[in-house]
Amino acid sequence: MLIRNFEYLAPHSIEEACGFLNEHYGEARALAGGQSLIPLMKLNLVEAKYIVDLKRISGLRGISRINEFLTIGALTTHSEIAESETVRSEVPLLSETASRIGHPQVRNRGTIGGSLSHADPAGDYISTMLVLEAQFVSASERGSRRRIPAKDFFKGAFSTDLRRGEILERIEVPIPSSDMSHSFMKLTLGHGDFPLLVVSVLGRVADERFEEVRIGLGGVAEVPFRSMEAEEFLNGKAVSEANISEAAKIASNQARPEGDLGVSKEYKSRMLDVYIRRALGGISRGL
């Protein structure tokens, strides 16, 4: 658990940060809240010659509503998102997701941008972002911006669409209509643990039928994904145990959960089914 020494830089502009990260690609890492990076460095799973602290760059933190979008700076902390009245009333799914990450000390430092860039397949935010159809805006040293839909952002385990020298600048979340309900479920063995699986669901019930249901699953495949098949099946169907079970079965079939220390593959599969059913049951009750 020995971190090798590194050079520390704290630039004041995105361009400087991106430029340095580009020039020293492979040897330099961006530091946001550090709640993912530092533990990895302590385990020597990540070694960096240079650490570029993004926290002195102004304009990367904050939450604002612009028309039908919520814009969240990449360096906004989980606590800030969880405590934001705006997020709580406009996008309660995001509010709940952020409020349940880790424990308070982690939430006070960890950032949404850091978490998304880290792209852990079981990361709390990802299935939520997919279901909200969020867009990510990345910045590069030349000052250009790239807009990447969430569904195209996550390429693999710990791998994103960010190019060398790019960092996440902000996240844009379309505000769901107020009649949408949500469910957020995650499996952890201990409170505050990193999740073993995550289920994010958005949708509404009209005339006792499911409408516009979106089902996002994390931790059960190399990349979190939305089960379009299950969504297609469920939308338009009557709210019933049978339909919910069938949708859960379809979604589970697309998943490839793996066993973990102390948790078997079979248990995870079983829990995936339970959680999807409960999540769908949750929105059917208009929660």
Partner 1 sequence: MCTFEGLLVEFQEGCEKILPGLLRISLNVNGEDRVVEVEPRDMLLDTLRDKLDLTGAKKGCNEGVCGTCTVLLEGRAICSCNIFAVEAEGTKITTIEGLSRNGLDSIQKAFVTLDALQCGFCTSGQILAVKSLLSNTKLEHPLDEQEIKEALSGNICRCGCYNNIVSAVQSVASQNAGRV
Partner 2 sequence: MTVVLQEQPNQKSPSHVRIDAVERASGQAKYSGDWKMPGMLYGAIIRSTVPHGIVKSADKSKALSLKGVEAILTCLDTDLVWNAGERIHQRNVFAKHVRFIGDCVGAVAASSRSVAREAAELVSLEYHELPAVFSIDESMKEGAIKIWEDGNVLGPFGLAFGDVDAIFGKAATVTFEREYRSSRVNGVPLEPATSLAWWERDALGEERLTVVAATQSIYGCRDGIAKDLGLRPEQVRVIGRFKGGGFGNKNNSMNYDLAAALLSKKTGRPVMVEYSREEDLVGLQSRWSTRQLIRASIDPDRKKLLAAEVKGLCDIGGYTRHIKQGIFIDGIDTYYPLEAYRSEIRAVYTNTPATGHVRAPTGPQSCFAMESLVDEICHELQTDPLEFRLGNLGHTVHGHKHFTSNGLEDCLVRGAEAFGWKEKWRKAEKPHEGEKIRRGIGLAIATWHAFLGRGEAIVRLKSDGRVEVFTGVVDIGTGAKSTMAIIASKSLDVDLDSVEVVWGDTSMCPYSIGESGGRTTSFTGLAVRQAALAVKEQVKKLASTYFGEADVEVANGLVAFARSRPEKKVEIVEMMRSKGLSDITEKATSDPKLPEDLERLAFAAHFVEVEVDKETGFVSVLKYVAAHDSGPLVNVLTSESQVKGGIVMGIGMSLSEKLLIDPDYGNIQNPSLMTYRLPNITSIPQVQVIFVETEDPYGPKSLGEIPIVPVPAAIGNAIFNATGARLREIPFTPEAVLKAIDTS
- Provide the binding-site residues for partner 2, judged by CB under 8 A: 1-2, 187, 189-194, 261-264, 267, 270-271, 274
Residue 164 or 270 having the CB closest to partner 1: 164
Judge whether 172 and 73 are in contact, CB under 8 Å: no
Q: By CB under 8 A, is residue 53 in contact with partner 1?
A: yes
Q: By CB under 8 A, is residue 56 in contact with partner 1?
A: yes
Q: Give SS3 for 108.
A: helix
CA pair distance 8, 45, nearest whole angstrom = 19
Judge whether 98 and 88 are in contact, CB under 8 Å: no
Q: By CB under 8 A, is residue 9 in contact with partner 1?
A: yes
Residue 211 or 260 having the CB closest to partner 1: 260
Residue 106 interacts, among partner 1, partner 2, none and using kind-specific CB cut-offs from 5 to 8 Å, with partner 1
Scan residues 61-90 and list those touching partner 1 (CB under 8 A): 79, 83
Among 46, 65, 86, 108, binds partner 1 (CB under 8 A): 108
Q: Give SS3 for 65.
A: strand
Please state, as a whole number, how many other Cβ atoms lie within 10 Å of the Cβ of residue 124.
Answer: 24
Q: By CB under 8 A, is residue 142 in contact with partner 1?
A: no
Closest alpha carbon to 136 in 172, 98, 161, 165: 172
Classify 119 in phi/psi space as left (phi over 0), alpha (psi -120 to 50) or beta. left
Residues that bind partner 1 (CB under 8 A): 1, 3-12, 16, 19-20, 23, 31, 34-35, 38-39, 42, 51, 53, 55-56, 79, 83, 102-106, 108-109, 191-192
